[in-house]
Amino acid sequence: MNKRIAVLVFPGTNSEEETLRLLRACGGDAHLVHWSNAKLLPKFDAYVLPGGFAYEDRIRAGAIAAHDEMMDYVIEGAGAGKLVYGICNGAQILLEAGLVPGTGDVRRPSAAFTRNGPVPHFICTHVHVKLAIDPQRSPITRGLQRDALVPAWAAHGEGRLAATPEELARLEAGGHVAFVYAHPDGSVDASATPNQSALGCAALVNREGNVLAMMPHPERDGWTYNHPDRRGGNAILAPSGGAIMFRSFVQAVNA
């Protein structure tokens, strides 16, 4: 029997249905859990925090949601080894909760996904992110090939990784930068990063490897019909592209 995955819905979450559908298409027993039903969360085996604008991104993106009752259970579950995957706003919440990169105390963030550079405005652009760690570093990435490229959509106003120089050095040395922005051919340079994120970072993982925070949306490039070169027939309804992240996550949850 597959293990159960909770897709958390905060006030302002807006990508839960796409996330839910792709998790299920990849074999996951996924269910939406709204903030009013937070007490149900301990019954689930893993958590996914989707994108959106939780609590209207007041103060900072993710700052209020990080103190929501739901996060009490996520923090407890992560400490017990449950897998947690945050996407865009979900990633921001995980950083604000201190679960990622996990170099400081809980709810004392040591890094943040903050306003984009060079101009602090919302961006919406297709990107590729490249696995920058050994796939075995995290159960969530174990189903990926080394240097895997994942297509996704960057759609955020606050996606630039920022931290002190000392913390950035810790993140590099500790293998916390899980994915970096890359060109479609897999090459990496500053021009591949759409928001001036420090270290070219698109995703961070905690020390234990069970919590992953990714800024771009792989679920928005998760189906064959999302692609301009799609073929005809029933294949247009098949999971593809960014779905490899969800397959890897589901495989890890059910392992």
pLDDT tens profile 106-163: 999 999 999 999 888 999 999 999 999 999 999 999 999 999 999 999 999 999 999 9
pLDDT value, residue 234: 67
pLDDT tens profile 21-52: 999 999 999 999 999 999 999 999 999 999 99
Q: Does residue 93 carry a pLDDT above 80?
A: yes
For 41-76, b/e burial (b = at least 16 CB within 10 A) is beebebbbbbbbbbbebeebbbbbbbebebbebbbe
pLDDT category at 230 given cuts 50, 70, 90 is: low
Residue 46 β-bridge partners: 5, 83
Separation between Cα atoms, residue 176 and residue 171, nearest integer Å? 5
pLDDT value, residue 190: 95
Would you call 76 helix, strand, or coil by DSSP? Answer: helix
Containing domain of residue 102, as a range? 4-254
Q: Which of 239, 198, 214 is nearest to 128 (CA)?
A: 214
* Residue 253 parent element (H or E): helix 243-254
CB of 55 closer than 8 Å to CB of 14: no
Residue 89 φ/ψ, nearest 5 degrees: -60, -35
Rounded to an integer, the average pLDDT of 47-65 is 94
CATH code of the domain containing 97:
3.40.50.880
* Residue 75 parent element (H or E): helix 69-79
Q: Does residue 209 carry a pLDDT above 90?
A: yes
The answer to whether 18 is a known catalytic residue is: no
The answer to whether 201 is a known catalytic residue is: no
Average of per-residue pLDDT values in the chain: 94
pLDDT value, residue 231: 60
Active-site hit among 26, 88, 96, 128: 88
Residue 7 β-bridge partners: 32, 48
Q: Does residue 233 carry a pLDDT above 80?
A: no
Rounded to an integer, the average pLDDT of 55-61 is 90
pLDDT value, residue 208: 97
Above pLDDT 70, what percent of the chain? 97
How many CA atoms, within 13 angstroms, populate the side-chain half-sphere of residue 130? 16
Above pLDDT 90, what percent of the chain? 88
CB of 8 closer than 8 Å to CB of 51: no
Residues 219, 80, 24: CA angle, nearest 5 degrees: 25
Please indicate whether residue 110 or residue 239 has the higher confidence score (pLDDT).
Answer: 110
Rounded to an integer, the average pLDDT of 65-93 is 98
Q: Does residue 63 carry a pLDDT above 80?
A: yes
Residue 123 β-bridge partners: 156
pLDDT value, residue 227: 76
The answer to whether 126 is a known catalytic residue is: no
Q: Does residue 84 carry a pLDDT above 80?
A: yes
With a CB cutoff of 8 Å and minimum separation 6, the contacts of 172 are 199
Using alpha carbons, list the distances in angstroms from residue 111 to 11, 33, 158, 181. Answer: 24, 27, 13, 18
How many CA atoms, within 13 angstroms, populate the side-chain half-sphere of residue 175? 10
pTM: 0.95
CB of 103 closer than 8 Å to CB of 171: yes
Query: What is the number of domains present in the chain?
Result: 1
